[in-house]
Structures are given as C-alpha cells and as structure tokens.
Amino acid sequence: MRKLIIILSIIIVLFVVIIPSTFYVVDQTKQAIVLRFGRVVKVITEPGVHFKQPFVDNVIYFEKRILLYDIEPEKIITADKKTLIIDTYALWRIRDPYKFLTSMRGVKIAQTRIDDIVYSHIRDVFAKGSFEEVVSLKREEFLNEVTKLCREDLDPFGIEIVDVRVKHADLPEENTESVYNRMKEERHSIAAKIRAEGEKEAEMIKAEADLEARTILAKAYEEAQTIKGTGEASAAAIYAKAYSVDEDFYEFWRKIQLYENVKGAVILGPETKFLKDLIEEK
C-alpha cells in the first residue's frame, strides 16, 4: 500500500511539475522564443505544442497580430510657417521575434522607439507641405511617405510598420483666431479680384457690343440713304418724262396742287393769274 502511494505521488509530480515544464503551447495569435540560460535557442512562429528542456529553457511569448500604438499629439511647423498639432497612431507588428528581442527586449521599449521615429518623419515630411496640403490636399501622400520611411528605419529591429495615420490635425488655440481671420481676408481678396476681372470683362463686352451696334446703324443709314437717293432719282426721272409729254398741263397741275395745300380762305381777283389760266383753259 505504501509503495502504491509513492508511485501515485511520483505520477502526480510528473503531471503537475515535470510535464508542464517539458511542453508548451503556442497559440495561433502568438509567437515564441525559447531561451536557455539567457541565449536564444529556438524561435517558434507556428501554432502548436512544442517540447523544451524542463527547468532549463524559458519561453517568452510575443503578439503575432497587428498592434495599435497611439502616439501623443505633437506640434509641427508647415512650409508656410503655420503651427499644427498632429495626433497620430501607428499600426505595427513584430515581424522577426529574434531581432525584436535582441534589440528592443520588450513592447514598452519598442513603443518608445516607434514614437521617436514616427514623430521625426511626420515632422520632416509634413514640413515640406503648406497648411492646406497637410490638412486636406496631400495628407494621404505625406502619410504614405511617412509609413515607408518608418518601415525602413524599424525593420532592423524586427518591427514592421503596417500603416501610419492621422486622427486629426488642429491649430493651437492661440493661433486659431488669427489663422481664421487671415484665411477670411485672403478669401475676400480673391473674391474682390474675381469681381474686378468680371467687371473689366463686362465693360469690354459692352464696348464691343456698342461698337458693333454703331457700325450696324451706320451701315443701315448708308444703305437707307442710297435707297432713298435711288428712289428720288427714279421719281425725278419719271416726273421729267411726264413733264416733257405736256409741259403746259404739268405746269397747270402743279399750280392746282399748290392751291390745294393753301390753308384758310383764298381771295381771288379778276387779275389773278390762276383765274386767267382757268379762263384760258376753258
């Protein structure tokens, strides 16, 4: 009975102490490094159950998934000398556990390194652009460049920078009002310039239209005078032809027209030429 108890105790010790210290499990979200007396003897990147020497080997686990590091907001100065507060974050992962362990030792030191490098490149790259480019036009292009530079700098440490993004870019409170007023003045200046150019163009169009109208009127008047002159010449020719047929009758007809056009009463005496003409005609 006593031997049975000893055997059971040994089995229990094996299961409780020896076996757990002999095998270890790497989850699919993790990767591991096996250390033996402080030296790296194995790097495990695939999930599964693995063997190690009990009481000698030590296993350190690292995250395999993409990690988020929220970087503290920092001030930058743009190319047009405006100060911005940029709030950024970085998506990163441990690409090479061996390099990461030997250079960074842990996540906290790695985050400090990421903070320094990301801010350095954000400051340098964004300083090449103007305020408007940083906040809207070229932000995506700048961030892609920052991501590329950070990836190159952190690769020797076994860190892969997946992406660098900006949560928001704000003006310092003391500068907001002055920048707003300056932008407002610039917009007013642009609007005034556009209005002035529009008025100038309108005057030019109006002057051209007036000149064209005067030209048309002058041409129409010239054509009208020509037509009128032609008509009067034709009428004179007709009158002359008619006059030459019977000159006495034409003279008499002109006199009748003259008296028809006289307004008021006409006093005729026996010596009046008109009466004599009537009597002669009769």
Query: Closest Cα partner for 64 from 96, 29, 24?
Result: 29
| pLDDT score, position 158 | 93
Return left, alpha or beta for 165; rule: phi > 0 is left, psi -120 to 50 is alpha, else beta: beta
* DSSP conformational letter for 36: E
User: Domain spans of the chain?
Assistant: 2-63, 67-170, 246-281
Query: What's CA 187's distance to the chain center, in Å?
Result: 16
> Best-predicted range by mean pLDDT among 44-53, 157-166, 255-264, 267-276?
157-166
What's the average model confidence in pLDDT over 254-264?
Answer: 65
Element holding 13 (H helix, E strand): helix 2-13
What is the percentage of the chain residues whose pLDDT exceeds 70? 74
- The topology (CATH level 3) of 67-170 is Tetrahydropterin Synthase; Chain A (3.30.479)
* Angle between the N-to-C axes of helices 273-281 and 247-260, in degrees from 0 to 180, rounded to the nearest 10: 130
What is the percentage of the chain residues whose pLDDT exceeds 90? 23
Tens digit of each residue's pLDDT (9 = 90 or more) over 182-241: 777 888 888 888 988 888 888 889 888 888 888 888 888 888 888 888 887 787 777 777
Element holding 201 (H helix, E strand): helix 173-245
Tens digit of each residue's pLDDT (9 = 90 or more) over 228-239: 888 877 877 777
Per-residue pLDDT at 247 exceeds 90: no
Record the tokens describing residue 213, joined without a space: 């109208």
| pLDDT score, position 177 | 65
Query: Rounded to the nearest 5 degrees, what angle is found at the Cα of 80, between the Cα atoms of 77 and 83?
Result: 30
Rg (CA), the chain: 54
